[in-house]
Structure 1
């Protein structure tokens, strides 16, 4: 396999994020004639849609249903403690879905619940919300999928359902997911610039070695690469996902302070480090890239600083 240089990967990533605008002259010719009033009228500016506000934790009901919702929240915020049979690292759901899954622009639960069932290209079929949660355990947690009827999945579904009370179904809400629309760097992402951003804005919490910080065996700040981080199948290993999350939420409590370029550069730096293998790997990195990572947003199967990413966790 011919490996793409970092600069070319960055260029491809930039190209993949851009959207070609229709030719203005063609659009003008094809537009119907407008009345003088229509020609002079100005469209009212669009108002930003406010993010949905989930119910407060104090509103969780008493009784068996409330107990299940609270269990789901406990699993979400300390996954190794409450779902230990299904995790392969020290991460919790709330490491990427901030404020216990409540925070807008960090893939909040209330933004996901009402969008399922939906087709996912990642596994080639229509997924229930429970199946989507299974994928998080398999990839982000580098573990194994809990059965759909397990206490873990039922509790997480209950928590997501409660979190979404009052939100419309089938409607993508403002603040759902990570804010990727129109988000692209002025220049191709760069590893060296990303290293400088990381040292200045990230290392204090996540460590110079990217391995995070722990207290009493629990992550206070999660590892960003290495054996205890998310694996090569997780969505956060893709540059656009990582950059959008970083831009909106990092450094913690100072989301939105990094420039677009800095967010993309530090995403490149983070995702250009080794992490656990994609569980779909069948013995060949090039074949795994061709089947599951054929996108300029993925560095899996490319060579960075002389190392073939996906060939094993670097020591």
Structure 2
């Protein structure tokens, strides 16, 4: 072996040893180990940190983000319009100050988490989320970010009740002229090719179930009067809103298995579907 080859081999071996020592030192450095606590790579997954931004995403894309909890092809913001900031459309602004509250339907005091899960089971025809689920915590964070005050104009959904019986035949005509373009003739809703909700279904197996607020005439009529057609709220007459709500709210839709538990102390509204 030539002397130069021996020297070259020695240098190569030395560099290999130094590289190993450097890598070993880095892998065992406090900074690297700290990072591994939060970035476990392929071994595990990063813990999801709740945030208002993520909460808005869950509320806006509920059907796609939480399919294990949502049975309907509906998102929360299909009713709570403009990210829950629109007056008279069930706004979330200030909502945290209104809970806990007593509700006749459950016959007890409920928390905001309970109320959200109520919507998941009824309006989304799904299942309740665990109280500490990252999505629940993020949705709460978003709602709290909208809560500077407990006195909010246009909170809730105003109910509409007329003294005359609704005319469902006229409601069908109103629907065909004013609603079918978005919600489709058969009430099946409109979706993008990849399944994102553009306009939610108003009846059928993919819609809200019979225990949802929107399945009740007075609530549905009030919502329609104030907010529909989308972007043209207030354009329908009271009678048009009354009739069209009677038409779509009584269409076939999923049942609610726990309906027998509702209003345990009486006071069931006259427009309840069961």
The aligned length equals 227
Q: CA deviation at 1:150?
A: 1.1
Structure 1 equivalent of residue 270 of structure 2 = 296
Structure 2 equivalent of residue 252 of structure 1 = 230
Match status 1:167 vs 2:146: no
Give the counterpart of 1:127 among 94, 102, 110.
Answer: 110
Q: CA deviation at 1:85?
A: 1.8
Q: Judging changes above 3 Å, is the alpha-carbon distance between structure 1 residues 293 and 222 closer, same or farther for their aligned structure 2 residues?
A: farther
Match status 1:101 vs 2:74: no
Q: CA deviation at 1:261?
A: 0.7
Give the counterpart of 1:148 among 131, 134, 150.
Answer: 131
Q: TM-score, normalised by structure 1?
A: 0.67
User: 5+ unaligned residues in a row in structure 1: which ranges?
Assistant: 1-63, 302-315
Match status 1:266 vs 2:269: no
User: 5+ unaligned residues in a row in structure 2: which ranges?
Assistant: 1-46
Structure 1 equivalent of residue 256 of structure 2 = 278
The answer as to whether partners of 1:194 and 1:268 remain within 8 angstroms in 2 is yes
Give the counterpart of 1:81 among 55, 61, 64.
Answer: 64
SS in 1 for 2:93: helix
The answer as to whether partners of 2:100 and 2:109 remain within 8 angstroms in 1 is yes
Match status 1:205 vs 2:182: yes
Q: CA deviation at 1:155?
A: 0.8
Q: TM-score, normalised by structure 2?
A: 0.77
The answer as to whether partners of 2:50 and 2:137 remain within 8 angstroms in 1 is no
Structure 2 equivalent of residue 72 of structure 1 = 55
CA RMSD, 1 decimal: 2.5
The answer as to whether partners of 2:123 and 2:212 remain within 8 angstroms in 1 is yes
Deviations 1:225-267 (A, max 9, x none): 0000000111111111101100000001000000011101000
The answer as to whether partners of 1:187 and 1:261 remain within 8 angstroms in 2 is no
Give the counterpart of 2:173 among 180, 196, 206.
Answer: 196
Structure 2 equivalent of residue 239 of structure 1 = 217
Q: CA deviation at 1:295?
A: 3.3
